[in-house]
Amino acid sequence: KKTRKYYYATFLVVYFSLSSFGYFFAYKYDIKSYLLKPILRINDKVNNNFIICFSARHLYIAGQNLLAIFFDGTLKVDDDCKQIREFVKRNSTEKGDEFTVEVRDWIRDNTNLFVLDYEFDITTKIADKNYGDVDVLALDEKRKILYSIECKNTKQAKIIYDFWKDIKNFTEKQLPKHINREKWLSNNLSVVSQRINKDVSGFKVKSIIVSSSVLPVKFVEVYKDITFTTLSQLVLENIF
């Protein structure tokens, strides 16, 4: 007869097996994923029954971890959970907006650049299509440089799989949009001048991506023309 000790022993074996498996295959699997599943159901097919295993400490840690990954924007949600996905997206958007404001305020307060107080939208009102918005548009009027600054509130990649995923996301989705905005700005300086009430004719457009953590894509040779930096590096080095 299977006793309660048997089920607890099974629980411990599964726990350590999954933990070791996660670390061994850290390049692909999330080593923290087990924290999101603090309740274990063990089916007893012989007696057509089941037992639920959990611990108060594990539940507490799981709750703390859930809040942490929600607030840093890394919580993974199934596609059919639309309301939760929207909630996570809204939180990520708010944190991204806060980071953009922080970057914009620092540049305005610590450089001699003219900084637009709002995001510069490139919509169909002034362009052939919607190119999105420039998070921070700044001008170096002495050197005639127009800075197109993209702000990314990112989570630091720590394992090989995260590095690969981040590079894939930026090379296939994020950077093409940013590069297209840079090209549009370069080819439509007269339109930009009218929109911001500043003469930027003859200015050179320079792209900068400011993130909250180091982006793996900065080490890709093909994107050497784009400056990648973090806010902390910006404070220390002041590349402007």
CA-to-CA separations, 150 to 122, 143, 155, in angstroms, rounded: 14, 21, 16
Average pLDDT of span 166-171:
80
**pLDDT of the residue at 33:** 63
**pLDDT of the residue at 21:** 45
**pLDDT of the residue at 18:** 47
Confidence check: pLDDT of 216 > 50: yes
Average pLDDT of span 26-53:
74
Confidence check: pLDDT of 138 > 90: yes
In 3D space, the residue among 132, 112, 115 whose CA is nearest the CA of residue 198 turns out to be 115
**pLDDT of the residue at 222:** 65
Helices 56-71 and 82-110: crossing angle, nearest 10°? 50
Confidence check: pLDDT of 11 > 90: no
**pLDDT of the residue at 70:** 79
Task: Tell me the pLDDT band of 19, cut-offs 50, 70 and 90.
Answer: very low
**pLDDT of the residue at 4:** 55
Confidence check: pLDDT of 185 > 50: yes
Give the mean pLDDT of the chain.
81
The dihedrals phi and psi of 197, each to the nearest 5 degrees, come to: 60, 40
Which residues have CB under 8 Å from 148's CB, separation 6+?
Answer: 134, 137, 178, 181, 182, 185, 205, 206, 207, 208
Token couple for 46: 């012989």
3-state percent breakdown (helix, strand, coil) of the chain, nearest 5: 50, 20, 30
Element (H, E) at 209: strand 204-211
Burial class (CB in 10 A: 0-12, 13-18, 19+), 185: buried
> What residue spans of 3-44 are helical by DSSP H?
4-24
Confidence check: pLDDT of 36 > 90: no
